[in-house]
């Protein structure tokens, strides 16, 4: 009980720090601080449309957080969620455009599955390098982010470009490849259900299967896992590929449910936010769920402040980092006293 209260106090403190930083920023920009808070909360939670937006944002954040969290449980840092989101999006867009003429309703789920595979395949590169060549996955995933962005730039401006748009975006995918909306009026899509289902699945796999046990053992002490007969290379590869698959799902959903095409800038840094979310959620699905919801509110709220007081979008990153640093601060202070 005491502990739960202390935990709540910790997060309250962290969000207060971010809120304070926000107030300072708004004040610097000569905005109305209280008004900004009101806009922030109202825009993300106060209206059906705002809440729908929050859920839509939460979808890639939750999946990305799960991707980072799953890898983290196995002891690895997947910094390449952005790249894998692009890979998933590219794969999903690719099949959707290739099968443009097939008006079969199965196209949408098929595109999503292909997107998942795209993310997984892209993550297979760091996975194999890590598992059998002991190449640090952090560097490989970071470098592949750049590769994925340039690939997206090429596709959106080159072969798949929508010539009418004059932007780095592709043609629209066919209607059959679009995932249904949850509420057309509010503008929320079904992606959030897929994300929630993934969270449950990740939890089940980690806590209720022997493979999940092996992943956790690996994350706790790789040598000990190996000494105990676990084929650590295979588990490593599998956990990183699975991580990429989750990110690929996020990318596929962004294409099939939200933008209905591939765009450059599809992920405004969901991957790096996902790292913070996984850290905040202690790599546990439930924690990641809560953290991604909070971060989604923060994104949507900051976004509205961009419109009302001109707060730059990048402020959201600063707030998120401040939140995590505050949590680390409280954790450290507490463990020093204990």
Residues that bind other proteins (CB under 8 A): 25, 28-29, 77, 79, 125, 129, 133-136, 138-140, 142-144, 146-147, 150-151, 153-154, 158, 207-214, 216-217, 220-221, 223-231, 269, 272-273, 275-276, 279, 312, 314-318, 320-322, 324-325, 328-329, 331-333, 336, 338
Residue 54 or 302 having the CB closest to other proteins:
302
Min separation Cβ 146 and other proteins, Å = 4
CA nearest neighbour of 111 among 89, 96, 90: 96
Min separation Cβ 76 and other proteins, Å = 11
CA 180 to chain centre: 21
CA nearest neighbour of 240 among 307, 160, 140, 337: 140
CA–CA separation, 189 and 183 (whole Å):
7
CA–CA separation, 40 and 34 (whole Å):
10
Tokens 């000569």 found at? 30
Residue 24 or 103 having the CB closest to other proteins:
24
Contact 116, 255 (CB under 8 A): no
Min separation Cβ 262 and other proteins, Å = 14
Min separation Cβ 301 and other proteins, Å = 15
CA–CA separation, 292 and 225 (whole Å):
31
**Buried-exposed string 211-220: b where 16+ CB fall within 10 A, e elsewhere:** ebebbebbbe
CA–CA separation, 45 and 52 (whole Å):
9
Residue 132 or 193 having the CB closest to other proteins:
132
Min separation Cβ 157 and other proteins, Å = 8
Residue 140 or 194 having the CB closest to other proteins:
140
CA–CA separation, 324 and 315 (whole Å):
15
Q: Which two tokens stand for residue 159?
A: 């072969």
Min separation Cβ 287 and other proteins, Å = 14
Min separation Cβ 120 and other proteins, Å = 18
Contact 252, 190 (CB under 8 A): no
Residue 289 or 315 having the CB closest to other proteins:
315
Residue 108 or 323 having the CB closest to other proteins:
323
Residue 198 or 302 having the CB closest to other proteins:
302
Contact 244, 119 (CB under 8 A): yes
């Amino acid at each position: 009980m005491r502990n739960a209260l202390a935990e709540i106090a910790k997060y309250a403190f962290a969000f207060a720090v971010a809120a304070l930083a926000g107030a300072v920023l708004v004040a610097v920009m000569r905005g109305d601080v209280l008004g900004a808070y009101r806009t922030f909360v109202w825009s993300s939670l106060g209206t059906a449309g705002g809440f729908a937006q929050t859920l839509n944002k939460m979808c890639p954040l939750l999946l990305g957080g799960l991707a980072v969290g799953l890898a983290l449980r196995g002891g690895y840092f997947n910094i390449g969620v952005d790249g894998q989101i692009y890979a998933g999006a590219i794969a999903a867009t690719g099949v959707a455009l290739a099968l443009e003429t097939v008006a079969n309703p199965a196209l949408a789920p098929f595109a999503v599955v292909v997107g998942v595979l795209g993310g997984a395949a892209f993550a297979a590169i760091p996975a194999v390098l890590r598992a059998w060549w002991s190449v640090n996955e952090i560097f490989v995933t970071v470098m592949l982010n750049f590769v994925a962005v340039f690939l997206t730039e090429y596709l959106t401006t080159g072969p798949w470009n929508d010539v009418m748009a004059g932007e780095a975006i592709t043609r629209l995918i066919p209607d059959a490849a679009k995932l249904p909306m949850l509420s057309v009026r509010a503008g929320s899509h079904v992606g959030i259900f897929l994300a929630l289902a993934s969270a449950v699945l990740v939890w089940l796999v980690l806590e209720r299967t022997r493979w999940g046990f092996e992943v956790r053992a690996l994350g706790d002490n790789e040598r000990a896992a190996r000494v105990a007969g676990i084929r650590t290379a295979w588990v490593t590869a599998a956990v990183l590929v699975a991580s990429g698959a989750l990110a690929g799902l996020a990318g596929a959903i962004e294409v099939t449910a939200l933008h209905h095409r591939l765009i450059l800038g599809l992920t405004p840094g969901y991957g790096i936010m996902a790292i913070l979310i996984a850290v905040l959620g202690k790599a546990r699905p439930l924690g990641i769920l809560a953290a991604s919801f909070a971060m989604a509110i923060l994104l949507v709220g900051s976004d509205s402040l961009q419109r009302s007081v001109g707060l730059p979008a990048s402020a959201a990153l600063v707030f998120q980092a401040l939140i995590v640093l505050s949590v680390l601060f409280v954790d450290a202070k507490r463990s020093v006293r204990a």
